Structure 1
Amino acid sequence: MAKSQQTYNKIEKEKQRRKKREEKQKRKEARRAEAKEKGGGIQFAYVDHNGNLTDTPPDPTQKTLVEAEDIVLGIPKKEETDEDKFNPIRNGKVSFFDHSKGFGFIIDTENNEKYFTHVSGLIDEIVENDTVSFELEKGARGMNAVKVSKI
């Protein structure tokens, strides 16, 4: 005959597990009984008209109605400002230009920003310290001066 596979150690571990389960069930029942005695039930948190959490319900007179069409999903369209309507032709001074490499830099007279220019964006031949007019164009590394002409 074969011996039982249940060893003393296995039986003791099973007893401990059973005891833990029973204790947990007793604590759970005690919490339920305590909640019934208090009678408070579930506590509520309200959100007032400013978006703050409170324990009192919000005032219905301060409620505002929102139409479903007024809700914008995503990024709202940008409105044109005075900055967007600036003159595309800007004035500046050539701070550096290398004819052998075909590029240089122009400093804007209005905001002292430095813009890159390439020989392909020139209308007239320029040298250092020339006063020029130009337009800006978005390039790979920032704004570039194009349509550069001497003043």
Structure 2
Amino acid sequence: MDDLPANLFALECILAPLGQRLVRAASGQEALRRVLDEDFAVILLDLRLGDMNGVDVLTLLRQRERNRRTPVLILSGMDGDAPELQPAFKQGAVDYMRKPLVPDVLRDRVSLFVELRQMQAALRRQEQQIGELSRRLDEAERELAVRRSASGTPVPHPERAE
């Protein structure tokens, strides 16, 4: 998110080598509309937007469950000790980079968030697979109990080993 087209273009050029889909937002309102439609690995947020303060955008993002944990990286021309940055960190910004940006550093930080997002997705898939396997195991155990019951074979108590 940046209200200056030249800054958005520079970000796209810097991040293009990562091969990720980038979503551009030139205003706070546009950014808020974009996060309604999809999830992001990381959000790059300029604090000084034309229509809204970046902290206000961040505050609204954090009010939505879907975006509560999305990492937000602040990009600003302000010094790292600037008092304007403190509210952003209180609202959950995870990092800060001062403009002009160092392309390799920005790519490394964004890559880290993308990799984290991919690992989280893989973990969710594994959890779903474990849940499915657990459900199938429960079904198989019930079916076995029914078969044993029908054949007169005693059904062991579930807490006791056979």
Q: TM-score, structure 1 length as denominator?
A: 0.23
Please identify which structure carries the higher helix content.
Answer: 2
Return the index of the structure with the highest Cα Rg: 1
Greater RCO structure (CA 8 Å; 6+ sep): 2
Q: TM-score, structure 2 length as denominator?
A: 0.22
